[in-house]
Structure 1
Amino acid sequence: MGGVGKKPVRKRGSRLDELQRDALVYAAVVDSALDAVIVVDEEGRVVTMNASAEATFGYSKSEAIGRSIGALIVPDDHKQAHEAGMARYRATGVPHVLGRRVEMDARCRDGRIIPVELAITEVKLPDRRYFTANLRDLSAAKAAAAEIQRQREALHQSEKLAAIGSLLAGVAHELNNPLSVVLGQATMLQEELEGSAIAESAGKRARQIQSAAERCARVVRSFMAIARQHKAEKRAVAVAPLLEGAVELLAYGLRSNGIAVYRDYESAMPEVFVDPDQLQQIVVNLIVNANQALQETDGKRAIEIRTFVGHDGLARIVVDDSGPGIPEAIQAQIFDPFFTTKPLGVGTGIGLSISRGLAESQDGRLALAASSLGGAAFELTLPLASGSATEVERGGKPADVPSDRAAAALRAIVIDDEPEIAALIGEALSRNGYRSDLAGSGAEAQALIAAAAGGYDAVICDLRMPDIDGPALYRWIEANHAALVERIVFVTGDALGPAAGRFLAECRRPFLEKPFTPADVARLVADFAPRKH
């Protein structure tokens, strides 16, 4: 019991051992920290630093100790503020950033400027003070945040493009109806004027109206071809008409920017085996890129489109411009998704990436080529169609008009909620031997078909109608008048819509895409002429 209450006697040597052990543990913790730790004295000279600081800034501990931290890692444009802050603290003792987390730039040994998060703590000793700077490299975090923002903007852009596609479907539908009327009536007017006293002057005006309407129709069709989403359907295609369609689509922008377009098409150029819509989209993307590049050019603004067959037996399409060209430093990146040098709002950086992907899906390739105009040239390589002809696709030959004897027996029903369109189709059919009944709705068509006991040789039906639309009427005919199913032809200005596209693919019935001409109507219904028994 005599020893109870007595404190153990601690030897001086053991206390020193404990202090040395604590110092070693502290040094090990600091040295293994993931963040950079730099200790400086009151003059701002480095006392020590850990391994992370060496890795982050590129200085070894031995070459950093004793040097001013401002000379080591403070960027030149921040040095004056850093020196002023140190002097103010030494004079007043009032801290400015002590105990706070701040973001700033720091300089590495190789001159790189990196973003860091800085926290400074004061260490007071009996004879002097030290400052411990904890610095976290934010480069990876900033890059990740920038990537997230880029992906968010890309998603936003994708949503905008999807919305524009839906809007385009509606606009195309609204434009195609009046364009069909203008185009059809202009054609019929020319036919009626033949042999009349005013045929020369009035016929010339009618041809001008028809030409303008056909141009509008081609522009609408080109937009729809680009916006249409479908599985690639490759076939033998003449190159020149597709290239001209792309140029015509962008003609206003090129003309308003003072850009001349030159063509150098190889004569007797063979057809290529591609999806025509996707080929036109590639060419449109390349011309749009050239147009944007040329807006930064003060001198001659020109685009040249060349076609030829290479020594390897593959077709070549080159889109060349006289713009500033592409710096060699970024040539390897231009096909990367979302890479762009254009200002915000001007480009998304996906055009060339999409174009290369489309080219590869056509068993072709897209690459930079030598420019003959001093700017940037892109060469599209495509496979030739085996045994291809040089004749331009025209969509088939005009239909033969039925003889008068056969014509007297033919009967059609035209269903369209646009009276002008229904009347136009009916008149076109009458000129090709059909007697047509017109219906302004699906319900009216059902009544007429039921009254005629299905006795129609052709059923021409609009796809989109407010009450009973084309697909619903098709299913009703299929259930009640099955013999008529093979006589149905659809008319649509909305073939790029996903629902319309799925239905047309499922029913496998022919369709006429607005805007159309009377000859298009005659051609499509030609197969129905012998139906009457």
Structure 2
Amino acid sequence: MTEEAPPLVVGEAQLRAVLDAIPARVALLDRDRRCRYANREFAEFLGYTPDTVIGKTVAELMGGRAYAILAEQGERALAGETVRWSGWIPYLNRSKPRFVQRLYLPYRGPDGAVEGYFVFARDLTELMEAQQSVLATGAEMRRRDALSSAIIASALDAVIVMDEDGLVVEFNPAAERTFGYPREAAIGRLAGELIVPPAMRERHAAGMRRYLETGKGTVLGRRIEVEAMRSDGSTFPCELAITEVRLPERRLFTAHLRDLTEQRAAAAEIEAQRTKLHQVEKMSAMGSLLAGVAHELNNPLAILLAQAALLRETAATPDLLRRAERIHAAAERSGRIVKSFLAMARQEAPRREPVQVAAVVQAAVELTAYGARSAGIAVEVTHDALLPPVEGDRDLLSQVVANLLVNAQQVLQDRSGPRHVAVRTRRAGEGVVVEVADSGPGVPAEIAGRIFEPYFTTKPSGAGTGIGLAICRNVVTSHGGRIELEDAPGGGALFRVWLPATSAPAAEAVARPEGRAGAASILVVDDEADVAASLAEILEAAGHRVTIRDGGEAALGAARGAHFDAVFTDLRMPGMDGAALRRALLAEQPRLGARTVLVTGDTVIGAVAARAGPGPGGAIVLKKPFTPSEVRAALVRALAAGDPPPT
């Protein structure tokens, strides 16, 4: 069964160009017989331009006598009938009648109702008069043939003219470029064998026979999309419109074809970009959600870690000390995991500082440890001694290793038999190498070259975004390194990351300034009473005097009525938050404002907000969960920040 084509969309630039190019008059009339569209030939024949003819009725355009002759055919078209008519018409702007062949095609709207009809008119006056003047007719025919040939030759779309037997009688230059046949090779051949794919040829031939026998067809006069075939046998999508040309001695069929390959490719690229944008938006939403959840966890973790640290420092018995150390170790590990999650989702520029690769790997292993244990995957970590530090962003590098570990776990989780992942760090020339090898099936050679391409994934839909390894490559490259894939010894995949070493000491090896800094008066501000109390206990244990307030307004009032050496304030609080409190203190008491420490569990947005405030270098930030040593180090920095510069 021949597939129904979509209705012709009036007003499209392509349709206007085609209809303006053909030597026939075309118009669209609504149910009131008003002109809604006219091609250039139609308008100019009646003495109008395509714009000024719109909205005028048939009677206004052609005169009452012509309307009376054509009214019946219009009624039949509005009733849904395709009507063919020819005869003499007395036009309003013509001195004598014209012999016209007209085709009426109903125009249906989206709901299938007839909203108007198309009129295709061919003026055959000259052909009729040729019976009286053979010489005049011959000259006119030659002129029209020359005009038609010029139009066809200059058309941007492929134009193929066939006779009633389906043989090609014209093949324009655009058709030569589109289908790969020279005109001489195409003329005289069956169009069905030339451009129709083999699977569709019988359908094409049957439709041609049916139209020639009954005059009924589903393709003629419509614009449809079909598959066409080039000379090399390859197929491509194209837009097809076929019109019939009746001559005194025979009928011809003109096919206008447009290659849709580039158009389809552009549409596919737009859809691919839309999918990528959706993935980016989804990842951004996940990052924001993760930041919020982690921030909520950081407050109880801050209390747990602070109390465990204080208990460890004040334990009276060895047994109590062991218990405190276990609690402290578990709380510290939980804090590191939360901080790692937040670091991956943070919205700040990458940092560059000396870092120990072993510490980066250890953080990634801890972050992914639960997934490995729950899947029964053994993870073996080996570090060579005396590795030099590398200069880079600790969080981004940890994200690279974590992504490689997660990929290895996903490969192994459904496999039977021993499952293990080996992680090793070692010195390699002027750099440090991190290797992650798994005991899986390895990466097939046919996709190994594409493994680092953005959005390329072998995982089923919904199981991966295809951006993990692309991000890894970008991070490693931005650090001056490289990442490679090869087969692991004994089977499996091995990812090798090489990073250049630096001579600067790693941040982990730099001692943090602690010390008691003398007895100081400290203002602690937090709407979470337990967090404030834990922070106060750490400071009091270091010999300082502490005043607690539960909000920014109350803290500002306390600072106006008493002397404080430093302020520790939570960043997120109802009403006046920590950043606003610091700005107010900088305006009223610049020395105390400079000594204000912002305490935050939101390292994604919190750190950005902290740096955005006034003052050189932004605020001092203490991240939750914190240890006593980190609190004391923050206090030392705060007290130093308020001192006048040396002269």
Same fold (TM over 0.5): yes
- Which of 344, 360, 371 aligns to 1:226? It is 344
Partner of 2:530: 420
What secondary structure is seen at the aligned counterpart in 2 of 1:393?
Answer: helix
Alignment of 1:483 with 2:591, yes or no, is yes
Deviation of 1:13 (Å): 5.6
Q: Which of 220-229 and 338-347 deviates more? A: 338-347
1:77-156 map, 5 Å: 77-79=199-201, 81-90=203-212, 92-126=214-248, 128-156=250-278
**Alpha carbon RMSD of aligned pairs, Å?**
3.6
Partner of 1:4: none
Contact residue 462 and residue 491 of structure 1 kept, 8 A: yes
Contact residue 321 and residue 373 of structure 1 kept, 8 A: no
> For the structure 1 residues 332 and 475, does the alpha-carbon distance in structure 2 shift closer, same or farther, using more than 3 Å as the test?
same
- Which of 198, 211, 215 aligns to 2:329? It is 211
Contact residue 410 and residue 529 of structure 1 kept, 8 A: no
CA separation in 2, counterparts of 1:27 and 1:298? Answer: 72
Deviation of 1:250 (Å): 3.0
Q: Which of 376-385 and 520-529 deviates more? A: 520-529
Partner of 2:394: 276
What secondary structure is seen at the aligned counterpart in 2 of 1:476?
Answer: helix
1:254-293 C-alpha deviation (Å, 9 max, x unpaired): 4455554444543322211112222223333444455555
1:377-388 map, 5 Å: 377-386=494-503, 388=505
Alignment of 1:179 with 2:301, yes or no, is yes
Deviation of 1:465 (Å): 1.6
CA separation in 1, counterparts of 2:252 and 2:355? Answer: 78
Deviation of 1:203 (Å): 5.6
Contact residue 238 and residue 260 of structure 2 kept, 8 A: yes
Q: Which of structures 1 and 2 has the larger relative contact order (alpha carbons within 8 angstroms, sep 6+)? A: 1
Contact residue 613 and residue 619 of structure 2 kept, 8 A: no
CA separation in 1, counterparts of 2:492 and 2:610? Answer: 43
Alignment of 1:462 with 2:577, yes or no, is no
Partner of 2:559: 449
Q: Which of 253-262 and 507-516 deviates more? A: 253-262
What is the TM-score normalised by the length of structure 2? 0.69
Partner of 1:29: 151
Deviation of 1:491 (Å): 1.0
CA separation in 1, counterparts of 2:615 and 2:343? Answer: 16
Partner of 1:3: none
CA separation in 2, counterparts of 1:370 and 1:38? Answer: 56
Q: How many residues align?
A: 512
Alignment of 1:355 with 2:472, yes or no, is yes
What secondary structure is seen at the aligned counterpart in 1 of 2:613?
Answer: helix
1:144-187 C-alpha deviation (Å, 9 max, x unpaired): 12222222333333333333333333222211101111222233
CA separation in 1, counterparts of 2:289 and 2:352? Answer: 27
CA separation in 1, counterparts of 2:412 and 2:140? Answer: 75
- Which of 489, 494, 514 aligns to 1:399? It is 514
> For the structure 1 residues 450 and 364, does the alpha-carbon distance in structure 2 shift closer, same or farther, using more than 3 Å as the test?
same
1:275-424 map, 5 Å: 275-291=393-409, 302-311=420-429, 313-321=430-438, 333-340=450-457, 342-369=459-486, 371-372=488-489, 374=491, 376-386=493-503, 388=505, 393=508, 396-397=511-512, 399-400=514-515, 406=518, 409-424=519-534
1:180-211 C-alpha deviation (Å, 9 max, x unpaired): 1122223333445441xxx63x6655444433
Q: Which of 349-358 and 231-240 deviates more? A: 349-358
> For the structure 1 residues 102 and 447, does the alpha-carbon distance in structure 2 shift closer, same or farther, using more than 3 Å as the test?
same
- Extract unaligned runs of 5+ from structure 2: 1-128
Deviation of 1:138 (Å): 1.1
What is the TM-score normalised by the length of structure 1? 0.83
CA separation in 1, counterparts of 2:206 and 2:413? Answer: 47
CA separation in 1, counterparts of 2:323 and 2:316? Answer: 13
Contact residue 107 and residue 113 of structure 1 kept, 8 A: yes
> For the structure 1 residues 347 and 17, does the alpha-carbon distance in structure 2 shift closer, same or farther, using more than 3 Å as the test?
farther
Deviation of 1:332 (Å): 5.3
1:434-473 C-alpha deviation (Å, 9 max, x unpaired): 2211111112212322222x2x233211122212222222
Contact residue 320 and residue 371 of structure 1 kept, 8 A: yes
What secondary structure is seen at the aligned counterpart in 1 of 2:219?
Answer: coil
Q: Which of 289-298 and 467-476 deviates more? A: 289-298
The structure with more radius of gyration: 2
CA separation in 1, counterparts of 2:248 and 2:422? Answer: 80
What secondary structure is seen at the aligned counterpart in 2 of 1:363?
Answer: coil
Q: Which of 482-491 and 431-440 deviates more? A: 482-491
Partner of 1:242: 360
Deviation of 1:490 (Å): 2.1
Partner of 2:90: none
Q: Tell me which amino acid in the other structure corresponds to 2:570.
A: D
CA separation in 2, counterparts of 1:121 and 1:506? Answer: 78
1:194-205 map, 5 Å: 194-195=316-317, 200=319
CA separation in 1, counterparts of 2:348 and 2:326? Answer: 35
> For the structure 1 residues 388 and 478, does the alpha-carbon distance in structure 2 shift closer, same or farther, using more than 3 Å as the test?
closer
Contact residue 362 and residue 382 of structure 1 kept, 8 A: yes
Partner of 2:175: 53
CA separation in 1, counterparts of 2:413 and 2:180? Answer: 44
Partner of 2:66: none
Q: Which of 426-435 and 42-51 deviates more? A: 42-51
CA separation in 2, counterparts of 1:342 and 1:71? Answer: 43
Q: Tell me which amino acid in the other structure corresponds to 1:476.
A: A
- Extract unaligned runs of 5+ from structure 1: 1-6
**Could you tell me the percent identity over the aligned residues?**
46
CA separation in 1, counterparts of 2:284 and 2:234? Answer: 41
Q: Which of 275-284 and 423-432 deviates more? A: 275-284
CA separation in 2, counterparts of 1:287 and 1:232? Answer: 22
Q: Tell me which amino acid in the other structure corresponds to 1:119.
A: A
What secondary structure is seen at the aligned counterpart in 2 of 1:421?
Answer: helix
1:98-148 C-alpha deviation (Å, 9 max, x unpaired): 222112333333343322112122233455443322221111111112222
Contact residue 305 and residue 328 of structure 2 kept, 8 A: yes
CA separation in 1, counterparts of 2:161 and 2:138? Answer: 24
What secondary structure is seen at the aligned counterpart in 1 of 2:237?
Answer: strand
- Which of 512, 524, 530 aligns to 2:634? It is 524
